């Protein structure tokens, strides 16, 4: 079995079965208006921090702009440039008539032969263990024509021979079929970043091809980018529901880095909304109203939810049937869920095992004993739900 090298991006490492192979060629293919460049930049930065060498070919903006982009995301690569770990192939400055101070530069970016010679020179200088990022393949094709793909094929073969891994940023801008099919054939691995219009999370990431073989079963993972922070698995809606005064609002606020509640006289009358960036996830939380008079809107609030945090007051077993009723009325029964047994600090609070028995909760559903006002075990509840979401994808 060929050893895989982690990218440091959890979604991609999971989809690739642990990471990429040394010397492999990777195409990051995106829909128009979905930016794949940050994925490649985060990948490169993570490998630089682990001792790899980096080579960044840029042909659509100055190298200094790249440095600033990556710094804003929280990936400061300037020190690696200064110590020689990271080098640029500057195929931009010549296009606008400027000189270049980079290690490698292309005087005429419209000359495919000069680009080819410069890239091979850079490959030889950097050597084994280099991560080469090409930003972008579109600009190469637009400036030099489809014939430049012969050079791309040669660079991929060279990388395979000398353990130089390459990542190409490419947007599907409607090239002829013979060009797009050839592009897909060139690369060992193809990772797609798509814009979908019919779901809440409009951008998804999937792997189309690994080790030169198309995948028959593809997993689609919603994603978004945090600045700073990088790629996040995006969970666009977790519903937080449960009976009146069970502690839903307190839990949404305890989990969230920012939260909003619409309240009157201390009681939520519309909904709670929260957001949390946590362990590589970007999560939106929606809390329902507990009073029965708001039941007609529960199915609207439950729409598009991917998972549920069901909150119960551990001291009020008479409200347990109401909790299950709210799950059903929200239309979320059957989704991955966890039960938060809140108010464990109060007298007569029932333990998780007894709550499971009284509510007939299946063994595979976690019940987390919490004190929401003290934020006790709150993140453990979110951890448990995110784990279930990953397992059931």
Percentage with pLDDT > 70 across the chain: 92
Q: Which of 198, 228, 258 is the last residue of a domain?
A: 228
Do 222 and 268 reside in the same domain of the chain? Answer: no
Do 224 and 238 reside in the same domain of the chain? Answer: no
Do 151 and 252 reside in the same domain of the chain? Answer: no
**Sign (positive or negative) of CA dihedral 298, 301, 302, 308:** negative
Q: Which of 228, 246, 275 is the last residue of a domain?
A: 228
pLDDT at 266: 46
Q: Let me know if residue 281 belongs to a domain.
A: yes
Do 190 and 332 reside in the same domain of the chain? Answer: no
Do 154 and 92 reside in the same domain of the chain? Answer: yes
**Which value, in Å, is the radius of gyration of the alpha carbons in the chain?**
25
Q: Let me know if residue 4 belongs to a domain.
A: no
pLDDT at 384: 92
Tokens 């490169």 sit at which residue? 44
Q: Which of 196, 228, 260 is the last residue of a domain?
A: 228
Query: Could you list the residue range(s) of the whole structural domain that residue 95 is in?
Result: 10-228
Q: Let me know if residue 1 belongs to a domain.
A: no
Q: How many helices (H) and strands (E) does the chain have?
A: 13, 17
Listed in order, strand segments (DSSP E) in the chain are 25-30, 53-58, 86-90, 104-105, 130-135, 165-171, 189-195, 203-210, 213-214, 221-226, 230-241, 258-264, 267-278, 281-287, 307-313, 337-342, 367-369
Q: Considering its fold, how many domains does the chain have in total? A: 2
pLDDT band at 45 (very low <50, low <70, confident <90, very high): very high
Average pLDDT of the segment spanning 124-138: 96
pLDDT at 233: 84
Q: Let me know if residue 58 belongs to a domain.
A: yes
pLDDT band at 359 (very low <50, low <70, confident <90, very high): very high
Q: Let me know if residue 2 belongs to a domain.
A: no
Q: Let me know if residue 5 belongs to a domain.
A: no
pLDDT in tens, 249-259: 888 988 887 55
> 352-359 and 320-329 helices cross at what angle (nearest 10)?
60
Do 224 and 260 reside in the same domain of the chain? Answer: no
Do 223 and 340 reside in the same domain of the chain? Answer: no
pLDDT in tens, 171-196: 998 899 999 999 999 999 999 998 76
pLDDT in tens, 160-170: 999 999 999 99
Do 365 and 316 reside in the same domain of the chain? Answer: yes
Q: Let me know if residue 3 belongs to a domain.
A: no
Do 206 and 269 reside in the same domain of the chain? Answer: no
Do 204 and 296 reside in the same domain of the chain? Answer: no
CATH number at residue 221: 3.40.50.300
pLDDT at 367: 96
Average pLDDT of the segment spanning 59-78: 94
Do 55 and 192 reside in the same domain of the chain? Answer: yes
Arithmetic mean of pLDDT over the chain: 89
pLDDT band at 16 (very low <50, low <70, confident <90, very high): very high
Residues 6+ apart with CB under 8 A from 209: 184, 187, 188, 189, 190, 215
Do 214 and 352 reside in the same domain of the chain? Answer: no
Give how far the C-alpha of residue 345 lies from the chain's centroid of Cα atoms, to the nearest Å: 37
pLDDT in tens, 378-390: 999 999 999 888 7
pTM, 2 dp = 0.74
């Amino acid at each position: 079995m060929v050893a895989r090298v982690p990218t440091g991006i959890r979604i991609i490492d999971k989809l690739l079965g642990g990471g990429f192979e040394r010397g492999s060629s990777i195409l990051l293919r995106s829909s128009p208006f979905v930016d794949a460049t940050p994925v490649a930049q985060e990948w490169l930065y993570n490998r630089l921090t682990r001792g790899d060498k980096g080579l960044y070919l840029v042909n659509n903006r100055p190298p200094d702009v790249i440095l600033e982009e990556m710094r804003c995301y929280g990936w400061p690569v300037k020190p690696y440039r200064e110590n020689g770990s990271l080098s640029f192939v500057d195929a931009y400055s010549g296009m606008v008539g400027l000189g270049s101070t980079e290690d490698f530069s292309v005087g005429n970016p419209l000359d495919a032969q000069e680009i080819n010679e410069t890239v091979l020179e850079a490959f030889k200088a950097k050597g084994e263990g280099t991560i080469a990022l090409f930003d972008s393949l579109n600009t190469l094709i637009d400036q030099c024509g489809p014939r430049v793909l012969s050079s791309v094929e040669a660079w991929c073969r060279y990388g395979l021979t000398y353990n130089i891994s390459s990542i190409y940023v490419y947007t599907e801008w409607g090239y002829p079929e013979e060009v797009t099919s050839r592009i897909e054939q060139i690369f060992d691995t193809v990772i797609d970043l798509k814009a979908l219009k019919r779901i809440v999370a409009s951008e998804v990431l999937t792997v189309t091809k690994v080790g030169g073989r198309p995948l028959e079963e593809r997993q689609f993972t919603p994603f978004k980018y945090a600045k700073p922070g990088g790629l996040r698995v995006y969970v666009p809606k977790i519903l937080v529901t449960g009976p009146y005064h069970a502690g839903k609002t307190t839990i949404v606020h305890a989990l969230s880095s920012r939260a909003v509640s619409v309240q009157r006289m201390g009681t939520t009358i519309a909904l709670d909304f929260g957001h949390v960036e946590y362990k590589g996830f970007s999560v939106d939380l929606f809390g329902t109203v507990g009073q029965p008079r708001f039941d007609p809107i529960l199915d609207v609030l439950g729409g598009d939810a991917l998972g549920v945090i069901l909150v119960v007051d551990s001291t009020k077993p008479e409200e347990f049937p109401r909790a299950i009723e709210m799950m059903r009325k929200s239309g979320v029964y059957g989704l991955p869920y966890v039960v938060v047994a809140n108010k464990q600090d109060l007298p007569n609070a029932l333990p998780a095992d007894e709550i499971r028995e009284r509510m007939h909760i299946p063994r595979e559903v976690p019940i987390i004993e919490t004190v929401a006002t003290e934020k006790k075990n709150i993140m453990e509840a979110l951890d448990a739900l995110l784990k279930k979401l990953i397992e059931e994808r």
